[in-house]
Amino acid sequence: MFELFRLLGNRKLFILLIVIVLFVALMGVTLGDRIGLTWPEKFVKDTVGFTQRIVNKPAAAVSGFFEDIADLNAVYEENENYRVQLVELQRQVIDYRKLKTDNENLQKDLDFTEMQKRNANKYYRFAHVISVNDDVNNPTVNIDVGSKDGVAVGQAVTSIEGMVGIVSTTTDYTSTIQLITSLSLTSPDSYAIAATVTGKADTFGIVESYDKNKKRLLMTGIDPNKTKLEPYDTVVTSGSGGVFPAGIVLGEVMQVTPSEFGLTETALIKPTASFVEWKELFVVIPGVDPNEGDDTP
Amino acid sequence: MTWRKQFLVLLLFVIFLIDGSVLPWFLPDAWMPHLMPNLVFVCVLFVSVYRHRYAGMVLGAVFGMLHDVVYYGAMLGPYSFTMGFTAYVLGLIFQLPKAPLPVMLTVVMLGSFILDSMLFGIYTVFNFNEQTYDWALIQYIIPDLLFRLVFALIIYVPIRRQFDKMPLRPKKDEKE
């Protein structure tokens, strides 16, 4: 034993070993699900988040300006399209209101529990992206809303196109999002997203991993006896399980293959979110929007 | 003449901010999945070559921990450990106050390579990625290396000038 110590007689090597052990312990302790953050972490995150917000604002403005110039040619055509879509949208809003009141009345008649009602409602909290971590192994994005704005760990985050990630930690004024490109079966903090296809109500599958080589989400456990999934079907969250509210767009089905054991099917889904160009994101918060008074029955 | 040191730390913090909050908005979209700029690390390597390996190690560990806390997604510690360790080892081998440009660039390339490989290793051990090393090498380790090399080329002259003006006190640095 003492021979070994003499071999390790180099004091620095010994310190290095101790440091390695300490860091491995730190990594192990902070791995996976944690209940809240300690106050030094919150303090650092909030302070850095504040300065990042200051730095980010002019940067986003300047880059937005250049993009605007690049987009200038397409503006007229876009406007034309938007005008047509707006008229259509107004027509649909009227339909939607009617359906919504019908639905609420039916829910009341059928004695829905508070939990079920809460899951049926959701609202989108607007957020600016203040910083991006480009780490391939652990991609995260920080946004400028926090627990004071009603954001909580585990809520879904979308861009205009589709689901981007899941809130992994919150402080008072900022929160960190883990992108769904880091979803993995083996990872210690994994999420399973219950998914279905729009227009095919009996389809069901679970999205819980992302294939980095093919750049596709994997939707597993699809029952082959139910309605078949076809390419270009839109996959949305189903809302069952109660973790994520229903109706968040995940992506498009690209290919359906039998799973390993042949009992179920696996679909490859192309995420609609691009994961490269973010300025604004939306946090999907279950429940009724507190700023909107007229929603209460 | 002490303000230069404080200024250096402040500059590192500004670079840290630029890293996360400004660069992603100006880099081309196609580069995004292949780059993790981590420009602070390049500056830390400069410190550990031109000043002292302990200064580099402490700065690397502190700014690595800042990175870990601010972008906390999986766990705390990987960046802190790898940045501190790499800065120390490269300082141990290459520490030379008059190191010429080619040596410094070699240090940046080696450092970048070691940092990304160690991060890959740590995340593999903790089951966060199931990719092979070849994939990682082509996907981000080599692009990173080139990007940091270009950044080192850009900042070499101004940083070197500042370091030459700073009085070198090896005895005092040893205690840090």
DSSP state of B128: S
Which three-class secondary structure state does DSSP give residue B162? Answer: helix
Cβ–Cβ under 8 Å, residues A119 and A243: no
ipTM of the complex: 0.82
B71 chain-A contacts, CB cut-off 8 A: 131, 133, 135, 138, 140, 142, 176
- Looking at residue A159, its amino acid is S
Closest Cα of chain B to A56: distance in Å?
Answer: 5
How far is the C-alpha of B36 from the C-alpha of B50, rounded, in Å? 25
Start-end of H helices in A72-202? 75-109, 114-120
Boundaries of every domain in chain B: 40-167
Query: Would the pTM count as exceeding 0.80?
Result: yes
Helix, strand, coil in percent for chain A, rounding step 5: 40, 30, 35
- Mean pLDDT taken over chain A: 83
pLDDT in tens, B19-53: 888 888 888 777 777 888 888 999 999 989 888 88
pLDDT of residue A292: 61
More reliable by pLDDT, A163 or A34: A163
The chain-wide mean pLDDT, for chain B, equals 85
How far CA A243 is from CA of A14, A126, A223, A295, in Å, comes to 47, 20, 21, 23
Does the structure show a pLDDT above 90 at A57? no
| CA–CA min distance B77, chain A (Å) | 6
Mutant choice from B72, B82, B85, B140 vs A, greatest count of A C-beta within 10 A: B72
A286 touches A146 (CB < 8 A): no
Which of A54-63, B80-89, B124-133, B163-172 ranks highest by mean pLDDT?
B80-89
B81 touches chain A (CB under 8 A): yes
In tens, the pLDDT along A150-159 reads 888 888 898 8
A200/A212 Cα distance (integer angstroms): 28
Nearest to A132 by CA among A97, A164, A91: A164
Residue carrying the six token digits 């082509």 = B138
Q: What is the pLDDT of residue A230?
A: 83
* Shortest distance, CA B76 to any CA of chain A (angstroms): 5
- The whole-number pLDDT of residue B115 equals 92
Rg (CA), chain B: 16
> Domains in chain A and their CATH numbers?
193-271 (2.40.10.350)
* Of the candidate ranges A12-26, A186-200, B95-109, the one whose mean pLDDT is the lowest: A186-200
**What pLDDT, on a 0 to 100 scale, did the predictor assign at position A85?**
92
Task: Assess whether pLDDT exceeds 80 at residue A7.
Answer: no
pLDDT given for residue B110 in this prediction: 92
